Copies of this chain bind each other. A is one copy, B any other.
Amino acid sequence: MPELDAIDRKILALLQTDSRLTMQELADKVGLSVSPCHRRVKLLEERGVISRYVATVDQKALGLHVSVFISIKLARQKEEDLNRFARAISKWDEVLECYLMTGNRDYLLRVVAADLASYETFLKTKLTRLDGIASIESSFALSQVKYSIALPV
């Protein structure tokens, strides 16, 4: 696995911000001509450094006004319990993020919903129906101060 040099990192920074740049524009910005720039991008894709290209959608435009962080403790933390939990939440589109945590909770989830009523529906019809959950604690976000997909390079 070869290292990422300064130009690779610049390419990543730019594509994380705007993947619709043409190769010509990207090449100009990183100080290469189109061919080597193109080759570098393809290599970054093949090596899995660039994993995908996506459109980002405005949460308010979709009417998703509620963002909730949920702390979850499981009754048991055996590997099988963890895997079962991970499989379940992976299926649910409302769950955008889920982390296995250190400290006094097992999981931290970020969930979005249209309003409190549909969040309640999510809780009642999905999350609380899972076996092996010891406790659930919801924390509501008043506003999104910052949201970025761009990892520091």
Interfacial residues, chain A to chain B (CB-CB below 8 A): 4, 12, 15-20, 47-59, 61-62, 64, 67, 69, 86, 89-90, 93-103, 105, 107-108, 112, 139-153
Contact = CB atoms under 8 A, between A and B. Distances in A.
Contacts of A57: 12, 16, 49-51, 150-151, 153
Copies in the complex: 2
**A16, A57, A140, most chain B CB atoms within 10 A:** A57
B148 A96 contact: yes
A89 B18 CA distance: 22
A56 B56 CA distance: 11
Given A16-B57, A18-B52, A102-B139, 13 more contacts: A17-B54, A19-B53, A19-B55, A48-B58, A50-B57, A50-B58, A54-B56, A56-B149, A89-B146, A95-B146, A101-B141, A112-B152, A149-B149
A18 B53 contact: yes
Contacts of A86: 145-146
A59 B101 contact: no
